[in-house]
Amino acid sequence: MLSCPTALRAASPLFLAALTALAAPAFGHSPASRVIEFPDLPDYQTLVGDFHQHTVFSDGSVWPNIRVQEATRDGLDAIAITDHLEYQPHAADIPHPDRNRAHVIASKAAKDQTLLVIRGAEVTRKMPPGHANAIFIQDANPLLTADPIDAFREASRQGAFIFWNHPSWTKQTPDGMARLTPMHEQLLAENLIHGIEVVNEHEFSDESLQIALDRNLTIMGNSDIHDLVDWTHQVPEGGHRPVTLVFAREKTEAALKDALFARRTVVWFDNTLIGRAEWIEPLLAASLTVASATYQPGTTVLAVTLQNHSDADFRLRNVSAYQLHQHASLVEIPAHATATILVKPVDALTEIELRFEVLNAITAPRVHPVLALQVSAELPAPETP
């Protein structure tokens, strides 16, 4: 009798495909479709990025080329390797006086790919100021300074985009509440902080989102991955890493940087979209469209088929002027699928507007956006006697 691995190697592709389908989760990513996909906006490409990652060149567990391979499997457009400048637990085994080394290796691994590998580093200090990532830097080594503010200033001199990492991290903020300190106020006054992580690994922070809105900072969400993405975020079981969706004019490093400074971002985390209304709303409009609308024979009940073009399993609450016929007020539209709902306009109308509160999208703490969908339908044919 063949052993299990040998049997699987001998099995037909159709049999293996059937096994994969059986193992796939009901919603979200399946092992065969792990690529993170969201539609473009009318004027911008939607680029998927993870701008906070670690390797063995600080406290990570993998070589930099693994980060490139993971990003390729997840369909990412851009990554930044942001190893700690000051914290070097593997230094005895992997001494590297050049803090750019991880970026050099990752860039070489991606040289034949379209993946953008952004040079970055993590400034790693006690609170305040805590940890911050500087990306689009030219050279990480000058950021190794005694004074933390000098590290931010050096990054700024190099044209970096700088964002505050995990402000609610309980190892530095025991109550888990993100708040600005006088040093952060100084950094903001000198324009040395441009963004803030509202999501880091498995955590979302309402307070960080409010700081972003109050202080006009770019909303960021990243994996902060140290081990394997598949293990940490259970990708084989249908999970996904948190990413920042960046709305850029083209897929270039310059356009990506411009978009980040312009705050054109939405975070994708745990089947939830988080961002400013000005970017969440067009993304929702591109993600959920009306595929068809037809009156049921002999009735004024309208069957509306909605098409989901995104990775989000949308959870919607009906706030329209019309009641639904089969659903309660809650409707789910699975990722990359269609769903048909029955609407009761009472009178036969050629145009109606459906409005849904999107429960797995957030534009401010405890605030969900409303998606308006315009529905056109032909009037039902009169019944024949």
pLDDT of 385 reads 57
* CA gap 40, 283 in Å, rounded: 8
Q: Assess whether the previous peptide bond of 64 is cis (omega < 30° from 0).
A: no
Residue 248 Rama label (left phi>0; alpha psi -120 to 50; beta): beta
pLDDT of 28 reads 52
pLDDT of 10 reads 36
Q: Give me the residue label for tokens 């709902």.
A: 341
Strands (E), the chain: 45-53, 78-81, 116-124, 131-135, 161-164, 195-200, 203-204, 218-222, 243-248, 265-269, 272-275, 288-295, 302-308, 314-318, 323-324, 330-333, 338-344, 351-358, 361-362, 370-376
Q: Chain centroid to CA 108: how far? A: 25
User: Tell me: the pLDDT tens digits for 343-371?
Assistant: 999 999 999 999 999 999 999 999 999 99
pLDDT of 380 reads 79
* Nearest partner of 268 among 283, 257, 254, 278, judged by Cα: 283
Q: Print burial letters for 273-300: b (CB count within 10 Å at least 16), e (below 16).
A: bbbbeebbbbbbebbbeeeebebeeeee
User: Tell me: the pLDDT tens digits for 23-76?
Assistant: 334 445 544 579 999 999 999 999 999 999 999 999 999 999 999 999 999 999
pLDDT of 327 reads 87
Name the amino acid, one letter, at 182: P
Q: Is the torsion defined by CA of 59, 65, 70, 71 positive or negative?
A: positive
pLDDT of 193 reads 98
Alpha-carbon distances of 27 from 157, 200, 266, rounded to whole Å:
46, 23, 21
| CATH numbers and ranges of domains, the chain | 26-275 (3.20.20.140), 287-376 (2.60.40)
Do residues 377 and 291 touch, judged by C-beta distance below 8 A?
Answer: no
Q: Is 156 helix (H, G, I), strand (E, B) or coil?
A: helix
Q: Give me the residue label for tokens 């745990």.
A: 270
Do residues 368 and 359 touch, judged by C-beta distance below 8 A?
Answer: yes
Q: Is 263 helix (H, G, I), strand (E, B) or coil?
A: coil
* Nearest partner of 80 among 61, 99, 98, 107, judged by Cα: 107
Spans of the chain below 70 pLDDT = 1-32, 383-385
* CA gap 35, 27 in Å, rounded: 14
* Nearest partner of 379 among 352, 348, 351, judged by Cα: 348
The structure tokens listed for 20 are: 């994969």
| Residue 186: partners with Cβ closer than 8 Å, 6 or more residues away | 149
The structure tokens listed for 319 are: 């706030």
